């Protein structure tokens, strides 16, 4: 092998070694991915089935929650209580000043033997719930014997807090009702369903008054009489609306002054709420209140049920209700379907006036109910099941 050939061979060998080294170096690198890897999730989402109309959960229709769309009612009640508390404070301050200036001055209109005796007016609420001369203006602060009484303990016996509900059945059938209704005695007057081809439209106004004009027009145009449960502060807010309802022949019933969960109140506070409402209604309309009552939020206990009965009222619950304390997903179609899909004999329908969708659907609902062979009636005409 001559020197030229040897040099060529050595150059070829060197090139081979260099190429081999480069090949080994590239093999150590991970191959470039042709597609970005998809992230993996070790936790697979759990499938949830939507409840159907026949399922147990969806068939139970509860009362509206205490802190639901009644935020406006709570605000109005709070404002009302603050005004009353301020008025009471001003009055007490004035009375204190007058007492200081007249403390030693004899009352010449009374016999001498009585002039030194203290007055019997302590502002206490008597057993019949009527306030004394300077009784508390705030129904949530009832006073007895000069001391604020705490609400009785709840949760046991006849003071166990209850909340109304019903269980839907197939269309046309009367729903099932709470088991405790079987324990209601004759001195616990209550209604929750009637009989026959009659429907009792009950409209609650514990929250916003809503579109009053459309409401009144829909009822009048269809020649329908409804039953209204309007909180006392709404009566004060719009007394002309109340007078219009009375003039049109609707029934207005007692729904308390402040629309408060009565399980949180004393007996004296409950009586005052109801009696003050009756007085307010008489002042506004010149008429006596109808003997029907509805517990705010459907919250009650059997002790209160009996007490309200003893005051001459029949408590009214319901057999159809809706989630109308919150916006309806499908607008006015939702209240229409809620009512028509649960239409049954003696149906007591609960509808909240503050729901825009309810008022928008009212005319259509009335016409459909009538077409189904039912007539609208007042609670004063109801015939409960025997």
- CB burial of residue 281 (10 Å; 0-12, 13-18, 19+): buried
Question: Can you name the residues that pair with 253 across neighbouring β-strands?
Answer: 229
CB 282 within 8 A of CB 289: yes
pLDDT at position 79:
59
pLDDT at position 231:
98
Q: How far is CA 147 from CA 64, 125, 173, in A?
A: 33, 10, 51
Q: For the chain, list the domains and their CATH numbers.
A: 187-381 (3.20.20.370)
Give the pair of three-digit tokens for residue 51. 């409840």
Note the pLDDT tens digit of each residue in 308-361: 999 999 999 999 999 999 999 999 999 999 999 999 999 999 999 999 999 999
3-state secondary structure of 198: strand
Q: Name the residue among 119, 197, 143, 254 with its Cα closest to residue 374.
A: 197
Q: Per the confidence metrics, is the pTM higher than 0.75?
A: no
Give the pair of three-digit tokens for residue 98. 């007058």
Output the CA torsion sign for 354, 219, 235, 290: negative
Q: Which helix (H) or strand (E) holds 362?
A: helix 356-371
**DSSP assignment, residue 182?**
G
Determine the Cα–Cα distance for residues 31 and 38; give it in Å rounded to an integer: 17
Question: Can you name the residues that pair with 327 across neighbouring β-strands?
Answer: none
CB 211 within 8 A of CB 359: yes
**Phi and psi torsions of 29, nearest 5°:** -85, 145
With a cut of 50, list the residues of the chain below it in pLDDT: 19-57, 68-72, 100-148
């Amino acid at each position: 092998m001559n020197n030229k050939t040897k040099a060529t061979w050595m150059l070829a060998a060197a090139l081979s070694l260099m190429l081999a080294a480069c090949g080994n170096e590239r093999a150590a690198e991970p191959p470039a991915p042709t597609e970005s890897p998809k992230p993996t999730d070790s936790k697979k989402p759990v499938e949830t089935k939507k409840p159907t109309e026949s399922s147990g959960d969806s068939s139970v229709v509860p009362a509206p929650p205490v802190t639901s769309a009644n935020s406006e009612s709570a605000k109005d009640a709070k404002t009302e209580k603050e005004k009353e508390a301020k008025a009471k404070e001003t009055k007490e301050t004035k009375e204190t000043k007058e007492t200081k200036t007249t403390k030693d001055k004899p009352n010449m209109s009374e016999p001498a033997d009585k002039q030194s005796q203290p007055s019997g007016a302590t502002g206490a609420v008597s057993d019949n719930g009527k306030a004394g001369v300077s009784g508390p203006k705030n129904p949530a602060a009832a006073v007895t014997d000069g001391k604020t009484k705490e609400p009785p303990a709840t949760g046991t016996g006849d003071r166990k807090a209850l909340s109304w509900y019903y269980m839907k059945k197939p269309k046309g059938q009367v729903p099932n009702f709470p088991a405790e209704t079987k324990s209601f005695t004759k001195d616990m007057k209550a209604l929750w369903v009637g009989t026959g081809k009659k429907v009792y439209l009950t409209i609650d106004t514990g929250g916003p008054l809503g579109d009053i004009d459309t409401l009144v027009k829909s009822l009048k145009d269809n020649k329908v009489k409804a039953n209204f449960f309007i909180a006392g502060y709404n009566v004060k807010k719009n007394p002309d609306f109340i007078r219009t309802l009375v003039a049109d022949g609707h029934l207005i019933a007692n729904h308390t002054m402040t629309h408060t969960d009565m399980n949180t109140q004393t007996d004296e506070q409950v009586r005052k709420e109801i009696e003050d409402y009756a007085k307010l209604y008489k002042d506004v309309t010149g008429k006596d209140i109808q003997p029907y009552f509805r517990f705010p939020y459907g919250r009650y206990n059997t002790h209160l049920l009996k007490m309200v009965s003893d005051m001459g009222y029949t408590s009214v619950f319901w057999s159809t209700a809706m989630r109308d304390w919150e916006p309806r997903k499908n607008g006015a179609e939702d209240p229409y379907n809620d009512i028509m899909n649960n239409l049954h004999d003696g149906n007591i329908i609960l509808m909240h006036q503050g729901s825009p969708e309810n008022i928008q659907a009212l005319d259509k609902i009335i016409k459909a109910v009538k077409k189904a062979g039912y007539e609208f009636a007042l609670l004063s005409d109801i015939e409960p099941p025997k």
